[in-house]
Structure formats: structure tokens, C-alpha cells
Amino acid sequence: MSFLTAAPEITSLLMFSGPGSAPMLEAAAAWDGLASELGSAAESFSSVTSNLVGGAWQGPASTAMAAAAAPYSGWLSAAATQASGAAAQAKAVASAFESALSATVHPVVVAANRSSFVQLVMSNLFGQNAPAIAAAESDYEQMWAADVSAMVGYHGGASAAAAELTSLPQLLQSLPAQVSAQLSGINLGLGNIGNFNLGSGNTGNTNAGTGNTGSYNLGSGNTGTVNVGAGNSGSGNIGSGNFGNYNFGFGNGSAWSRPLGGDGSTHISTPSNYNLGNGNVGSYNLGSGNLGSGNVGSANTGSSNLGFANVGNNNIGFGNNGSGDIGIGLTGNNEIGIGGLNFNTSSWNIGFGNSGSFNLGLANTGSFDFGLANTGSHDIGIGITGDNQIGFGGFNSGSGNVGLFNSGVNNSGFFNSGGGIPGLGGGGNWGLFNTGAANSGIFNSGSFNTGLFNSGTFDTGLFNAGSYDTGILNPGSYDMGLANAGAHTAGALNAGNYDMGYLNAGLQNVGYANAGYYDTGVGNSGSVNTGSFNSGFLNMGAFNSGGTHAGSGGAFNSYTGNVGFFNSGTVNTGIGNSGDFNTGFWNAGSGVTGFGSAADLGTVSGWGNSGAHSSGFFNSGDYTSGYGNAATNASGFDNAQGTSIVSGVGNSGAGGDSGFYNSGNGGDVGFFNSGTGNNVGFFNSGTGENSGPSSNGAYNVGFNNSGAGENTGWGNSGGFDSGLSNAGVNNSGFGNTGDNDSGVFNRSNHQSGFFN
């Protein structure tokens, strides 16, 4: 919807109810901090270089080093300047918003005008209020014009600020030419294959660092070109563990493997480009944990969303499950509002609880009504049951209602337009403004909900658009926590399924900002990784972008089967190797045990390995990387015989485990899981698909759930429950022992409310 045509009720409400200029000012402060850090780094880099050249290190090598370092120092200074400019533009956008806010008519003023207009129309029985009605409409038109003028100014200011920004890739593209112009064909280090490298074990040209495969990299263990950081696979990345191009952050992209049955597997790569943030699978995202492209925010599943935890496309807000929505917890498409309190462009209702079309008000079931609880059409008033009438009817227009302005069936409270469930004996709503069935609370448009603004089913909490949720702003289902867009998750802002933690966009992850599958740790975008910022698969350590890497905190490896640090080749053990099957340091050849060799020798890497194609120490399994692994396709330490496709320490399950000491049979992610498979979290002993700590049931999300399955929350011993300590089935709330209850401590079946 364009702000040029939006009514002042919508424009004013959105301007005054949003987060304001605070997020943009926080972004400006962050950019200022980054500019300061980059400036300090440039000064420190130049100081160290000058001290070396002016001290004991003299001669051609010293001159070559100084020439190689100068462009990087200049790049850091230029990046600091650009970050400072970004901070200034962010402050300009915040200033434009504050100016627009001060020029926008306050929602209370708009509401007062509309209320006065309604009163004048309803009392205009003989036409005596015609001049006053015209005056009210004139004021309303002036409010509309003022809001449009404010938004036009805001758009112009924000657009002008955005036009001043320069993309980081443009700054990066000038770096290779600067470096090449300074160097003269000299490598400084050991075991380099190529020219103009500053460091050891590089394969390529003009790298500054260790173990890079590619050219113009500043850092270690990168595969690609013009990367600044470690363990990146791609080009133009600033950060570590990225799989893709021109990302600024950690762990963006996904390179993972999926078993196909037997011992076979397929590798599915999803490179991600132009992301600013961590753990994104997709491109052009500003934020973390997004599964899609063009998102501004975090934990969105879809594309072109502005906000957090949206499932769908082109949404603005939080926890929306649909597309084209503006608001919080909406479940349809092209809606504006909060949960059930929304303006829907398909039925053109404004208000809450309207089930007809073109209504303005509350709980109208007809069409073209203006007022409260009208069941006819073309009515203006309250509780009217006929058509084309003005005035007041019965205050309840439904049947079996207790309260005021209810237009549904068997409701208790005010403005409820929902009805009972056939066959369940009068299971209506209890509360205010509920349009669903058997709800306890306020503004619930789903069924069997306990709380506020829930549009799903069997939810406990606030603004949940999914079903069987416990928490706030969950558009997924069977979630526990805050703003989870996935399903069966425990935590906050998870866009994937069966995750435990924060900002996970993948599947069955434990940790923070993981975009891959079966990962344990932080910022992993591959699969079956244990550690931080790994973008490959079967890695243990940090910033690995290839596959099957391990080490004592193995880090910054960018290809396959490496043990150690900064390796960009295949099945290497050591530091800074860019060849294959090497053991040692800075080897660019293959099959080498030693230091700084560029020759090709044998095919084994490590000591005491009895398995085939192993890298590390005392491994008896095949295709292993690490120490003492008896499993097949294992990465890590002491993984038991009989397991396969394992990453971590001491796993004894049947396969597909990631983490520490999991004894379940397959697919466990986390710590000490003993269930039959696919558990995510800690100490799960159930039959599988549990997410969270200490659940001994099946398909549960949360803590200490012992029910038969599909429970969300804490301590539920029933089935399909959402909330706390429910012993029945299909309950939402707290302490319900009956079945199909919504509320608190209900003992009978099909109840909504408290202590029934």
C-alpha cells in the first residue's frame, strides 16, 4: 500500500507505533565504532610496518614487504572513511524520520475526528448536523494531506541519504591492482606456489596470510579471491567462514551433504552473496539467520521482508505468517494490523472481528456496516439485526452470549464474534474481541488459545500466528520462545525447524546463527559441524569452509579433510598447507610430511592411522579426520566404531550425530542425547525429534516434556499441549488436566477460561 493513498488512521498509527529512529541511531553508532576500529587498525598496521623497515630488517625482502603492506594499510584507511560516511547517512535518515514524525498528525487527533464524525452522523436525524459533518470531513482531509506531505518529505530525505552510500565491493575491487603495482614477483615465506605472496603455504598470487588457495586474499585459509578474513570460500568476503561472494560477516551460505541411503550422499551447495550479517542462507540480506534473500532483519523465512521472524515474502513487521503483511502476528496475506486486529485488503474490513465485507467497527457479520455487532447490512449503529438501519438494537446479536456486543454464539465477555464448536457443548470464547472459538483472552482470532492476539490454534502467549506455540510472536508451529519462524524450535528468532538457540536458519541446529543442518555451535552454515562459523560439512572447529575438518580447536580450513589451522588443500594435518595429503607446515605440494615443500609425494597424512584416506592421529576408521576415531566419515575425537557421518567428540550413536557424547541412533545434535534419533539439545532420552533439554517423549519442543508427542512448553505430560504442566490432550495454557481446554487449571473437557 502506498503512503500517497493510505488514510491518516493507517499512516499516523504506523509512524507513532513503530520503533522510531532508535534502531537507525544504533546503526549509526555501530558504524562509528567500526570506523574507529578500522582507523586504529590502519594506524597500527602502518606503525608495525614502519618499525620493521626502520629497524633490524633491511634489504630486498624488507623493501618487498613494505611495498606489499602499503595497499592494505591504504585500504583499511579508506574503509574507515567509508564506515564514517555510512554513520553520517544513518544519522541523516534518523533526522528525516524525526522531522516526518513531528509533521504527522497524532493518531489520537485522527481518532477524535472520526469519533466526532460518527456521533454527528448518528444524531443527524433531521439533517441539523450537516454543517458540522462537513466541517469534520474538511478537518479529516487536512489531516490526510498533512500525513502525505510528511511522508513525501521522509521519503525524499531517506532516498538522498541512501544515494550517498558506496558499496564495499567497489572498494575491494581496487585492492588487487594496488597490490600488483607495488610487488615485483617476490614471495616472502615458505611453501608458496605462485607470485607476490606474503606468508606461507599459499597457492595463488598476491596473498597476505597463510594457507590460501586463490589470489589477493588478506587472511588465512581462504579459497577464492579478494577475501579479507579467514576460512572463506568465495570472493570479496569480509569476515570468516562465508560460502559465497561479497559477504560482510560470518558463516553466510551453505555447503552441506544429505545422505541418500547406504553410504552414498549428495552435496548441495547454496552460495550466498552480498549479505551484511551472520548465518544467512540467501543473498542481499541485512541481518542474521535469514533463509531467503533481500531481507532487512533477522530470522526471516522468505524474501524481501522488513522485520523479524516473518514466514513469507514482502512483509513489514514481526512474526507474520503470510505475504504482503504490515504488522505483528498476521496469518493471512496483504493484511495490516496486529494479530486478529487488522485491516484486510481482500475483505476491506477495518476493525476487529468483522466477518463480512467493507465494514468499519467491531464484530460486524454483515456488509457495509459502521458500528458494533451488527448482523445486517448497510447499518450504522450497535447490535442491529436488519438492513439499512441507523440506531441501537440488542447489545448481543448472537445467541447464548453473556456480556455486551457479542455477535457470535456461546461467548462470555465483550465484542466476541466467534462461536461454539459443534458437538463440544458450547465451547465459546471467554474474554474480549475474540473471533475464533474456545479462546481465553483478548483479540484471539484462532481457536483454543490462551493470551492476546493469537491467530493460530492451541497457542499460549502473545501474537503467535502458528499453532501449538508457547511464547511470543511465533509464526511457526510447535515453537517455544520468541519470534521463531520455523517449526518445533526452542529459543528465539529461529527461521529453521527443530532448532534450539537463537537466529538459526537451518535444520536441527543447537546454538546461535546457524544456517546449515545438524550443527552445534555459532554461525555455522554447513551441515553436521561442531564449532563456530563453519560453512562446510562435518567440520569441528572454527571458520572452516570445506568438509571433514578437525583439530584441537581446528580453525580457518577451507577445503576437505584437514586437521589444524589455515589449510586450504585436501586431507592436510598441520598449519598453512595448500596442497593435498600433507603433514606439517606451509606445504603447497602433495603427500608431504615436513615444512615448506612444494613437491608432490605420497597419499597419507598424520601418524598412527590404520584406516584409509585418514588425516590426523591414530584413526582406525576410513575417511576420518581427527584423533582416535573408529567410525567411518568421522571428524573429531574418539568417535566410536559402528557410527558414520559424525562430527564432534565421543559420539557412539549409529550415525549423523553432531556434538559431544551422543549415544542415540542417528541424527542427534547437541550434548549427551540418548534417544533413538533426531534429537536437538541436551539430555534428550525420548524416541526422537525432540528440541530442547531433558525431554523423554517424542516430537516435543521445550523442557522436561514427557508426553506422547507434539508438546510445546515445560513439563507437559499429555499430547499436543502448548504451555506449562498440562496433563490432558490438545490443551493451551497452564495446569489443564482435561482435554481440548484453553486457559488455566481446567479439569473438565472442552473448557475455555479458568478453574472449570
Flag the least confident range among 360-374, 596-610, 727-741: 596-610
Q: What percent of the chain has pLDDT over 70?
A: 71
pLDDT over threshold 90, residue 225: yes
Classify residue 603 by burial, with Cβ atoms within 10 Å: 0-12, 13-18, 19+. exposed
pLDDT band at 361 (very low <50, low <70, confident <90, very high): confident
How many other C-beta atoms can be found within 10 angstroms of the C-beta atom of residue 156? 12
pLDDT band at 179 (very low <50, low <70, confident <90, very high): low
pLDDT over threshold 60, residue 710: yes
Q: Which amino acid is at 554?
A: G
pLDDT band at 559 (very low <50, low <70, confident <90, very high): low
Domains in the chain, ordered, with CATH?
A: 8-166 (1.20.1260.20), 342-434 (no CATH)
**Local structure of 386: helix, strand or coil:** coil
Report residue 167 as a C-alpha cell.
558499496
Q: Which amino acid is at 149?
A: S
User: pLDDT of 711-725, one tens digit each?
Assistant: 777 787 888 878 888
pLDDT over threshold 80, residue 549: no
More confident residue, 460 or 434: 460
Pairing mode of beta strands 264-270, 254-261: antiparallel
Asked if residue 64 lies in contact with residue 53, where contact means CB atoms within 8 angstroms, the answer is no
More confident residue, 543 or 257: 543
pLDDT band at 423 (very low <50, low <70, confident <90, very high): very low
Report residue 122 as a C-alpha cell.
448518528
Report residue 193 as a C-alpha cell.
606456489
Average pLDDT over residues 233-254: 88
pLDDT over threshold 90, residue 208: yes
User: pLDDT of 471-490, one tens digit each?
Assistant: 877 777 787 777 676 677 87
Average pLDDT over residues 296-301: 89
Q: What percent of the chain has pLDDT over 90?
A: 10
More confident residue, 623 or 28: 28
More confident residue, 545 or 666: 666
Distance between CA atoms of residues 738 and 220, nearest Å: 61
Q: What angle do CA 463, 469, 473 make, to 5 degrees?
A: 30
Question: Given the C-alpha cell 473448557, which residue does it identify?
Answer: 751
pLDDT over threshold 80, residue 327: yes
pLDDT over threshold 50, residue 421: no
Distance between CA atoms of residues 221 and 296, nearest Å: 30
What is the predicted pLDDT for the residue at 553? 44
pLDDT band at 248 (very low <50, low <70, confident <90, very high): very high
pLDDT over threshold 70, residue 609: no
Asked if residue 545 lies in contact with residue 554, where contact means CB atoms within 8 angstroms, the answer is no
pLDDT band at 261 (very low <50, low <70, confident <90, very high): very low
What is the predicted pLDDT for the residue at 135? 93
Average pLDDT over residues 193-202: 86
What is the predicted pLDDT for the residue at 105? 92
What is the predicted pLDDT for the residue at 543? 59
Report residue 420 as a C-alpha cell.
461454539
Distance between CA atoms of residues 80 and 84, nearest Å: 6
Q: What is the C-alpha radius of gyration for the chain, rounded to an integer number of angstroms? A: 31
What is the predicted pLDDT for the residue at 527? 66
Which residues share a beta bridge with 618?
A: none
More confident residue, 166 or 96: 96
Average pLDDT over residues 404-420: 67
Give Cα separations from 360 to 188, 372, 378, 662 (angstroms): 76, 9, 11, 58
pLDDT band at 707 (very low <50, low <70, confident <90, very high): confident
pLDDT band at 360 (very low <50, low <70, confident <90, very high): confident
**Local structure of 418: helix, strand or coil:** coil
- Strands annotated E in 253-332: 254-261, 264-270, 272-273, 276-278, 296-298, 306-308, 316-318, 326-328
What is the predicted pLDDT for the residue at 617? 75
pLDDT over threshold 70, residue 506: no
pTM score = 0.49
How many other C-beta atoms can be found within 10 angstroms of the C-beta atom of residue 2? 7
pLDDT over threshold 50, residue 425: no
What is the predicted pLDDT for the residue at 230? 83
Report residue 55 as a C-alpha cell.
629497524
pLDDT band at 284 (very low <50, low <70, confident <90, very high): very high
Asked if residue 274 lies in contact with residue 284, where contact means CB atoms within 8 angstroms, the answer is yes
Distance between CA atoms of residues 534 and 36, nearest Å: 28
DSSP per residue, 482-509: ES--SSS-EEES--SBS-EEES--SBS-
Average pLDDT over residues 703-707: 73
What is the predicted pLDDT for the residue at 426? 35
Please choose, from the candidates 534, 531, 332, 521, the residue with its C-alpha nearest in 3D space to the C-alpha of residue 435.
332
Distance between CA atoms of residues 360 and 7, nearest Å: 13
pLDDT over threshold 70, residue 526: no
Average pLDDT over residues 97-126: 90
Pairing mode of beta strands 272-273, 402-404: unpaired
Average pLDDT over residues 429-451: 74
Which residues share a beta bridge with 686?
A: none
Average pLDDT over residues 491-509: 71
Flag the least confident range among 172-186, 245-259, 326-340: 172-186
Classify residue 722 by burial, with Cβ atoms within 10 Å: 0-12, 13-18, 19+. buried
Considering the chain, what is the average pLDDT of its residues? Answer: 76
pLDDT band at 106 (very low <50, low <70, confident <90, very high): very high
More confident residue, 430 or 419: 430
Task: Give me the sign of the Cα torsion angle 86, 88, 89, 94.
Answer: positive
